[in-house]
Chains A and B, each alone.
Chain A
Amino acid sequence: MSTQSSRFAARLMVAPSVALLLIWMIVPLAMTLYYSFRLYRLLSPDRTGWVGFNNYLWFFNSPDFWLALFNTLALVGGVLVITVTLGILIALLIDQPVKGQGFLRILVIAPFFVMPPVAASIWENLFMHPQNGLFSAVARGFGAQPILFLEQYPMWSVIGIVSWEWLPFATLILLTALQSLSSEQLEAAEMDGAGAFARFRYIILPHLTRAITVVILIQTIFLLGIFGEIFTTTQGGPGSASTTLPYMIFKQAIAAKDIGRAAAGGIIAVILANIVAYFLMRGLGRNLNS
């Protein structure tokens, strides 16, 4: 539905953003690929050379790597499950005619404005701290031993913190979608004899499909790179218990100062991200098209 000149103009106008993103993607990626086959340690800058796949093999032979891989997927999966489930429930609750709905939204949206280092430090110090945290105070109030969140359940704690940060996003998208559902549809279902659960299952949930898709897509993009929360709280520990792939790469680059290995890890992370992206786009692309 267009003329040749407008198609030409269109190509011209898409060009800058495509070119910029191509450079932004390819240049660092090519450099990372190059370093990943090199010996490059900041501590011994004289020894350099090609090392083939050694940097990659180091990762695959490290037990930490498989744990980190698992942790990365657990973080993404865990946060998605928690935020989508809670998001649906909270959206259903807020969508009811409750008093002060506008102010409720302001409260619920707040965590979204909190930058990750601050969020992590609030939770670490004010809540999860074994001596001074609010949780330990509550536990002691009940006469129980305080739970050592970051020591005993580091991964769960990180998942919890990140879920808190992303819950507003999920809730508000789902709430917006819910509000666009026509009440006539629900009333028709009620006339057809559908109970509350059946209405949720057959009317509300299908209506939310698109919104849930958007939540999963956007959150996955951000969750795959989660770094600051772990850096601030557990530093990947204890041991490697809460080390994710990004954090493991970070440790190689900053602590071990082994740029070659960090680069190999980076390439592995990019491949992982592409695998996730592939399945995500394949599974969800359909929902977005309509």
Chain B
Amino acid sequence: MGKIQLTKVRKAFGEVDVIPGIDLTIEDGEFVVFVGPSGCGKSTLLRLIAGLEDTTSGTIEIDGKDATNLPPAKRGLAMVFQSYALYPHMTVRKNIAFPLKMAGMDRAEQDRRVERAAKVLNLTNYLDRRPGQLSGGQRQRVAIGRAIVREPAAFLFDEPLSNLDAALRVGMRQEISELHQSLKTTMIYVTHDQVEAMTMADKIVVLNAGRIEQVGAPLELYNHPRNLFVAGFIGSPKMNFIEGAEAAKHDAHTIGIRPEHIAVGDGPWEGVVGLSEHLGSDSFLKVAVEGIGTLTVRAPGEVAARHGDRIRLAPAGKIHRFDTNGLAI
């Protein structure tokens, strides 16, 4: 079981309200991702749930029980840290067994669980090595192993992939997703990378300046962003925002259109191509359109527009409309 309920959770460091007040329900078995720019309070929120920080006010319930003032060890949660936080003086086996040893479990059961976790994570051959002798990906797996042997109510991940190189990151992303499929345990995952959020989450919580901007399934956020912040944060490349006369035509203060929703060819907008990046599968073009500004366009790979070319563009997808307060209409 792993249902976590936050009610009016507030955190202040001295005079500064890092988190002014958050209400959030995380259902049992959900994969929830906290995403937002650095300094948005997502890591602090995770640490509040973990019990590594005190909440200033509000309550945290885990499986219906008030856990607000419980020490970390008593909450039944496991955490994977950004730096993995492995114990360098212990072997992999001892690292994974450490929480079991602290819980006073008997040796035979400890060994059984460690072996099982090692098998799942492909670490069987490394059990007697020390963390210093492992690669980044292997260390990551040990950290996960240490978390899963406890059979916690929920897993907390604090930017676990940010120390890995790009190729490894994709692999680990899939492994964590598969782990969630097989364990079906609640996972809370913090990242600043919206791609990780989109690919892994059942539910994304977008945070900004300690506030929740929107909660929803990945595609819901993509298709129906509630405000300018979410619209700009989710999706890559970033959504184009247009103000002024063009927006007024759509009865809005600001309109947004995603780069992949603009077609090259015949259309109402004409502009000069600036920077163009050809990736093969796609081409990203920066087009300076008169009276509108620079638009980013995601065109098919075969479009051969180059610096200085004049091209015409047409909207070919949803146009998002926002009012003066930045809220979606």
Contact = CB atoms under 8 A, between A and B. Distances in A.
Check A-B contact in the complex, CB < 8 A: yes
Interface of A: 1-5
A8 to B, nearest CB: 11
A4 B51 CA distance: 11
B30 interface: no
B54 interface: yes
Interface string B8-52: 000000000000000000000000000000000000000000011
Which 6 A-B residue pairs are closest in the complex by CB-CB distance?
Answer: A3-B54, A4-B54, A3-B53, A5-B71, A3-B52, A3-B51
Interface string B53-64: 110000000000
A3 B47 CA distance: 10
Chain B interface residue number, banded: under 10
B53 A2 contact: yes
Contacts of B53: 1-3
Nearest to B44: A1
Contacts of B71: 3, 5
Given A1-B53, A3-B51, A3-B52, 6 more contacts: A2-B53, A3-B53, A3-B54, A3-B71, A4-B54, A5-B71
Contacts of A4: 54
A2 B48 CA distance: 10
9 contacts: A1-B53, A2-B53, A3-B51, A3-B52, A3-B53, A3-B54, A3-B71, A4-B54, A5-B71
Nearest to B13: A1
Contacts of B52: 3
Main SS of chain B's interface residues?
Answer: loop
A150 to B, nearest CB: 53
Interface of B: 51-54, 71
Contacts of B51: 3
A5 B52 CA distance: 10
Nearest to A4: B54
A5 B70 CA distance: 10
A3 B60 CA distance: 15
Nearest to B52: A3
B92 to A, nearest CB: 28
Contacts of A5: 71
Nearest to B51: A3
A1 B51 CA distance: 11
Contacts of A2: 53
Contacts of B54: 3-4
A2 B53 CA distance: 5
A257 to B, nearest CB: 57
A1 B52 CA distance: 8
A194 B50 CA distance: 53
A38 to B, nearest CB: 49
A3 to B, nearest CB: 5
A5 B51 CA distance: 11
A5 B72 CA distance: 11
A4 B54 CA distance: 7
Nearest to B71: A5
A3 B54 CA distance: 5
Nearest to B72: A3
A3 B71 CA distance: 9
B42 to A, nearest CB: 16
Nearest to A3: B54
A4 B53 CA distance: 8
Q: Please indicate which of the listed interface residues A2, A3, A4, A5 has the most CB atoms of chain B within 10 Å of its own CB.
A: A3
A5 B74 CA distance: 14
B14 to A, nearest CB: 12
A11 to B, nearest CB: 15
A1 B54 CA distance: 9
A6 to B, nearest CB: 9
A279 B303 CA distance: 71
Nearest to A7: B54
A127 B205 CA distance: 79
A25 B71 CA distance: 38
B267 to A, nearest CB: 52
A3 B51 CA distance: 8
A93 B270 CA distance: 70
A135 B107 CA distance: 71
Nearest to A5: B71
B97 to A, nearest CB: 25
Nearest to A2: B53
Contacts of A1: 53
A258 B54 CA distance: 59
A5 B71 CA distance: 8
A139 B54 CA distance: 75
A141 B18 CA distance: 79
A200 to B, nearest CB: 36
B190 to A, nearest CB: 16
A3 B53 CA distance: 5
A208 B53 CA distance: 38
A4 B52 CA distance: 10
A70 B182 CA distance: 79
Contacts of A3: 51-54, 71
